[in-house]
Amino acid sequence: MFMEEDDQSDEQLAQEYLSGKEEAFDELFSRYFGQIRYYLLTRSWYHKDDNYIDELVYAVFRVLWECLEAKGFKNEGPGSFRRLLCTIARLECYKHDTEHAKNPMTTSAMFPSSFADIPIGTIDEPVNDEPEKESTMDKLNKTLVKLTPDEQKLMRLVANQVKYKDILKEPEFCKYSLDYLKLKIYNIRNKLKKVAP
């Protein structure tokens, strides 16, 4: 009986790639593309720029590919591939971010227009590298479904980086004042609090 591709563990796929099955890397890429992108969005100091994040995603998978090509992966049981990928992602993110900032260890570098000086560790809570029981994306989808249609539309616009002034031009929201719109988003944000760590 054939085993479904999805049933294979990451470690099995990495081993298959090492033994010459090129499609195994495609499967790993497809499995982790969205997750690594989210991981980098939460870690990078420049997360507002989509192109920057795409460059980072590319760099992570490029290093992973080089690592596999150089037989740099050892299967040390379940989770070992994920740990390798998270380590690469963390290091690449740090490397790229430091290249973009003169003094990256302070909040003033993270948020260039501020004069505050908070060590980065206090504000950038570590993200758990281990697989979660329920992914953030699943939690987000479940929570978004519970919002009213107007709230869902508003969050879609916000997620697509539409500015407040442009949201206020939409037919559903043109009667809102700027303050009311801000309050509305703030209230929805409180409903979404359990989505992310």
Partner 1 sequence: MAKKSKCEKYGMAITDYILGEQMDMPESELFSHVANCDNCRKDLVNWRNTYAAMKNKAYLEKPEVQQKYRHMLESIKQGKACPEANLPKDEKLIDIQWEIGHPAGTIWNHLAKHGKMTMEELVGKSSLKPIIFERAIGWLAKENKICMTQAKDAVYVYLTPTEQIIARRRQTEANR
Torsions phi, psi of 125, nearest 5? -60, 140
Question: Quick count: other Cβ atoms within 10 Å of Cβ 106?
Answer: 15
Which residue ranges make up the site for partner 1 (CB under 8 A)?
22, 25-26, 29, 33-34, 37-38, 41-42, 47-48, 50-51, 54-55, 57-59, 61-62, 65, 107, 111, 113-116, 118, 122-125, 136-137, 140-141, 155-156, 158-161, 163-164, 182-183, 185-186, 189, 192-193, 195-197
Question: Least CB distance from residue 43 to partner 1, whole Å?
Answer: 9
Question: Least CB distance from residue 76 to partner 1, whole Å?
Answer: 24
11 versus 25: smaller Cβ distance to partner 1: 25
105 versus 137: smaller Cβ distance to partner 1: 137
Given a contact cutoff of 8 angstroms between Cβ atoms, the answer to whether 110 and 104 are in contact is: yes
18 versus 140: smaller Cβ distance to partner 1: 140
Given a contact cutoff of 8 angstroms between Cβ atoms, the answer to whether 140 and 34 are in contact is: no
In sequence order, which ranges of 46-192 are alpha helices (DSSP H)? 50-69, 80-100, 107-110, 120-123, 136-145, 149-159, 164-167, 178-191
Question: Least CB distance from residue 77 to partner 1, whole Å?
Answer: 26
Question: Least CB distance from residue 103 to partner 1, whole Å?
Answer: 16
Closest by CA to 190, choosing from 155, 138, 165, is: 155
Question: Least CB distance from residue 125 to partner 1, whole Å?
Answer: 5
Question: Least CB distance from residue 178 to partner 1, whole Å?
Answer: 9
Please identify which residue in the block is written with the tokens 């033994």: 19
3 versus 133: smaller Cβ distance to partner 1: 133
Closest by CA to 151, choosing from 185, 121, 101, 125, is: 185
34 versus 131: smaller Cβ distance to partner 1: 34
Q: What distance in Å separates the CA atoms of residue 65 and residue 54, rounded to the nearest whole number? A: 16
Question: Quick count: other Cβ atoms within 10 Å of Cβ 136?
Answer: 16
